[in-house]
Structure 1
Amino acid sequence: MPSALPLGLPAPADGVLPEHTANGANARNFGLYVHIPFCAVRCGYCDFNTYTATELGGGASQDEYAGTARQELTFAAGALSASGVPRRPMSTVFFGGGTPTLLPARDLAGILASAVELWGLVPGAEVTTEANPDSVTEESLQVLAAAGFTRVSFGMQSAVPHVLQVLDRTHSPERVPQAVEWARRAGLKVSIDLIYGTPGESMTDWRTSLETALSYGPDHVSAYALIIEEGTKLAGRIRRGEVPAIDDDDHADKYAVADEKLGAGGLHWYEVSNWALSVDDQCRHNLAYWKGDDWWGIGPGAHSHVGGVRWWNAKHPRAYAAALDAGSSPAAGREVLSARDRYVEDVMLRVRLREGLPTATLEPEGRRAVAGLIADRLVEPVDAFRGLVRLTDGGRLLADAVVRRLLPD
Structure 2
Amino acid sequence: MAGPPPDGQPAPDDGHLPESALNRLGERGFGIYVHVPFCAARCGYCDFNTYTPSENAGSAETWLAAALAEIDLAGTVLAPAPGGLPRVDTIFVGGGTPSLLPVDYLARVVERVGDVFGLTSGAEITTEANPESVDAGVFSSLRSAGFTRVSLGMQSARSHVLAVLDRRHTPGRAVQAAQEARAAGFAHVNLDLIYGTPGETDEDWAASLAAVVAAGVDHVSAYSLIVEDGTRLARQIGRGVLPMPDDDVLADRYLMADEALTGAGLHWYEVSNWAADEAARCRHNELYWRSGDWWGVGPGAHSHVGGVRWWNVRHPARYADRLAAKTSPAQAREVLEPDDRRVEDVLLRLRLAEGLPLSALDATGRTAAVRATNDGLLDGGAHRQGRAVLTLRGRLLADAVVRALLT
Query: TM-score per shorter chain, which class?
Result: over 0.9
The separation in 2 between residues aligned to 1:32 and 1:404, in whole angstroms, is 30
Q: CA deviation at 1:84?
A: 5.4
**Could you tell me which residue of structure 1 aligns to residue 399 of structure 2?**
400
Indicate yes or no: 2:96 matched with 1:98. Answer: yes
Q: 1:185, CA displacement in angstroms?
A: 1.8
In 2, Cα distance between equivalents of 1:261 and 1:26? 37
Aligned partner of 2:183 among 185, 193, 210:
185
Cα drift, residue 35 of structure 1:
0.3
- Structure 2: how far apart are the matches of 1:205 and 1:193? 15
Separation (CA, whole Å) in 1 of partners of 2:7 and 2:162 = 35
User: Is 1:314 matched up with 2:313?
Assistant: yes
Secondary structure of 2:79's counterpart equals: helix
Aligned partner of 1:79 among 61, 77, 81 = 77
CA contact (8 A) 2:25 2:81 kept: no
Contact 2:310 2:334 (8 Å CA) reproduced: yes
TM-score calculated relative to the size of structure 1:
0.98
Q: In structure 2, what is the Cα distance between the partners aligned to 1:385 and 1:392?
A: 14
User: Structure 1 vs Structure 2: percent identity of aligned residues?
Assistant: 54
Equivalence for 2:108: 110
Q: TM-score, normalised by structure 2?
A: 0.98
- Equivalences for 1:232-243 in 2 at 5 Å? 232-243=231-242
1:389 corresponds in structure 2 to: 388
Partner of 2:9: 9
CA distance in structure 2 between the partners assigned to 1:85 and 1:323 by the alignment: 29
Q: C-alpha offsets along residues 213-254 of structure 1, whole Å, 9 cap, x if unaligned?
A: 110001100000000011100111111121222111110000
CA-to-aligned-CA distance 1:233-280 (integer Å, 9 cap, x gap): 011111112122211111000000000000001100000000000011
Deviation at 1:85, TM superposition (A): 6.3
3-state SS of 2:189 partner:
strand
Q: Is the CA contact 1:105–1:141 (under 8 Å) kept in the aligned structure 2?
A: no
1:208 paired to 2:207 = yes
Deviation at 1:64, TM superposition (A): 2.5
Between 1:16-25 and 1:394-403, the stretch displaced more is 16-25
Q: Is the 8 A contact 1:17 1:83 kept in 2?
A: no
Query: Residues 33-112 of structure 1 correspond to what in structure 2 (within 5 A)?
Result: 33-56=33-56, 60-82=58-80, 86-112=84-110
Secondary structure at the aligned position of 2:258 is classed as helix
The answer on whether the counterparts of 2:26 and 2:292 sit within 8 Å (CA) in structure 1 is no
Structure 1: which amino acid aligns with 2:35? H
Residue of structure 1 in register with 2:30 after alignment: 30
Which runs of 5 or more residues in structure 2 are unaligned? none
Q: Distance in 2 between matches of 1:25 and 1:244?
A: 46
- The residue that corresponds to 2:260 in the other structure is 261
Q: Which amino acid aligns with 2:41?
A: V
Instruction: State the one-letter code of the partner of 2:216.
Output: G
Deviation at 1:56, TM superposition (A): 2.5
Q: Counterparts of 1:257 and 1:138 in 2: how far apart (Å)? A: 32
Q: How far is 1:82 from its partner?
A: 4.4
- 1:109-167 Cα offsets, whole Å, 9 max, x none, are 11111111111111111100000001112111111111110000000000000000000
The CA distance in 1 between the partners of 2:138 and 2:348, in whole Å, is 35
Cα deviation for residue 83 of structure 1 reads 5.8
CA distance in 2: counterparts of 1:406 and 1:302, whole angstroms: 30
Q: Answer whether contact 1:130 1:154 (CA < 8 A) is retained.
A: yes
CA distance in 2, matches of 1:105, 1:72: 19
Distance in 2 (alpha carbons) for counterparts of 1:164 and 1:28: 38
Are the aligned partners of 1:303 and 1:311 in contact in 2 as well (CA < 8 Å)?
A: yes
Amino acid across the alignment from 2:262: G
Matched, 1:324 2:323: yes
Helix, strand or coil for the counterpart of 2:390? coil
Query: Which of 166, 169, 174 in structure 2 is aligned with 1:168?
Result: 166
RMSD of aligned residue pairs (Cα, Å): 1.0
For residue 109 of structure 1, what is the amino acid of its counterpart?
Answer: A
Q: Would the aligned equivalents of 1:21 and 1:306 in 2 still touch at CA under 8 Å? A: yes
Counterpart CA distance in 1 for 2:109 and 2:229 is: 34
- Please point out which of 104, 126, 136 is paired with 1:128: 126
CA displacement at 1:180 relative to structure 2: 1.3
Deviation, structure 1 residue 80: 1.1
Superposed displacement of residue 27, structure 1: 2.2
**What is the total number of aligned residue pairs between the two structures?**
406
Q: Which residue of 1 aligns with 2:349?
A: 350
Cα deviations across residues 76-120 of structure 1 (Å, max 9, x unaligned)? Answer: 111111465621110000000011111111110111111111111
CA distance in 2, matches of 1:181, 1:226: 26
